[in-house]
């Protein structure tokens, strides 16, 4: 594993309305965008709770709130729950292809359909392909796109960063007409198995947000670790209910 020799310059944003709790203020620490993190730096930063959105490498750092918890799955100890086994069986008929992390029109069309079907009021429901690329891709990171197809038809794409000690689930989008397949869950299960095959110990899932219903799914995986008080700690669902 390469060793970082110099930390990048960090900035902190001015307080702004929280994206998840409109009655709260939030602040974010981020890497100087004029000197973006390279692969070695990002490998270090993800292990201390950072995340990326496009080429913005950031971590929430709010004055009076610690609800955003970076979480990851320890691959060797991961155990499928009963419903996850059903989801894996339900999607066993899908073909999986791994392609380089670059723009493809077919992917973009699926992304637009996903946003229109699942997040119609979101700022990401946008027809601009440049915004799509800015959100998902970053030249300094090794990114793969995992395609899930049924008879050639594209159902799901999982944007996955390859980091030194694992895989990082950046974003997943899928055909909302096939919601019964639970394609997002299936993509995570695939990433866990793929990390196991590659000998990588973790799958990073980004931020789990305390008491936010849309983030509850991230602690439905067992076991799950959270970066809490500067250490990765095993967490239990009842701790954060």
Domain extent, residue 177, equals 72-206
Pick the more confident residue, 221 or 161. 161
CATH of the domain at 110: 3.40.630.30
For the residues 108-132, what does the mean pLDDT come to? Answer: 83
Answer whether residue 144 is part of any domain.
Answer: yes
**Residue 35 has what DSSP assignment?**
S
Answer whether residue 130 is part of any domain.
Answer: yes
On whether the CB atoms of residues 75 and 166 are closer than 8 A, the answer is yes
Provide the domain count of the chain: 1
For the residues 113-127, what does the mean pLDDT come to? Answer: 75
Answer whether residue 233 is part of any domain.
Answer: no
Answer whether residue 2 is part of any domain.
Answer: no
Which CA distances in Å does 1 have to 39, 40, 43, 166?
11, 9, 9, 12
On whether the CB atoms of residues 14 and 27 are closer than 8 A, the answer is yes
Answer whether residue 6 is part of any domain.
Answer: no
Confidence of residue 222 (pLDDT cuts 50, 70, 90): confident
For the residues 196-200, what does the mean pLDDT come to? Answer: 97
Answer whether residue 46 is part of any domain.
Answer: no
Answer whether residue 223 is part of any domain.
Answer: no
pLDDT value of residue 32 = 92
On whether the CB atoms of residues 41 and 4 are closer than 8 A, the answer is yes
């Amino acid at each position: 594993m390469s060793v970082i020799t110099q930390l990048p310059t960090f900035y902190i944003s001015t307080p702004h309305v929280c994206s998840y709790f409109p009655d709260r203020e939030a602040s974010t620490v981020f890497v100087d965008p004029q000197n973006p993190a390279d692969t070695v730096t990002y490998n270090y930063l993800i292990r201390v709770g950072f995340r990326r959105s496009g080429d913005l490498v950031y971590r929430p750092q709010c004055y009076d709130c610690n609800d955003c918890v970076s979480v990851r799955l320890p691959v060797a100890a991961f155990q499928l729950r009963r419903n996850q086994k059903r989801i894996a069986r339900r999607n066993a008929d899908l073909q999986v292809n791994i392609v380089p992390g670059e723009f493809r029109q077919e992917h973009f069309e699926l992304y637009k359909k996903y946003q229109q079907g699942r997040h119609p009021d979101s700022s990401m429901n946008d027809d601009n392909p440049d915004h799509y690329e800015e959100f998902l891709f970053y030249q300094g990171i090794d990114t793969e796109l995992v395609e899930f197809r049924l008879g050639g038809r594209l159902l799901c794409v999982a944007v996955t960063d390859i980091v030194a000690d694992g895989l990082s689930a950046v974003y997943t989008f899928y055909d909302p007409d096939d919601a019964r397949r639970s394609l997002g869950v299936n993509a995570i299960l695939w990433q866990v198995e793929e990390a196991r095959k590659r000998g990588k110990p973790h799958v990073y899932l980004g931020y789990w947000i305390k008491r936010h219903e849309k983030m509850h799914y991230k602690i439905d995986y067992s076991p799950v670790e959270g970066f809490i008080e500067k250490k990765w700690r095993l967490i239990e669902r009842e701790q954060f209910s």
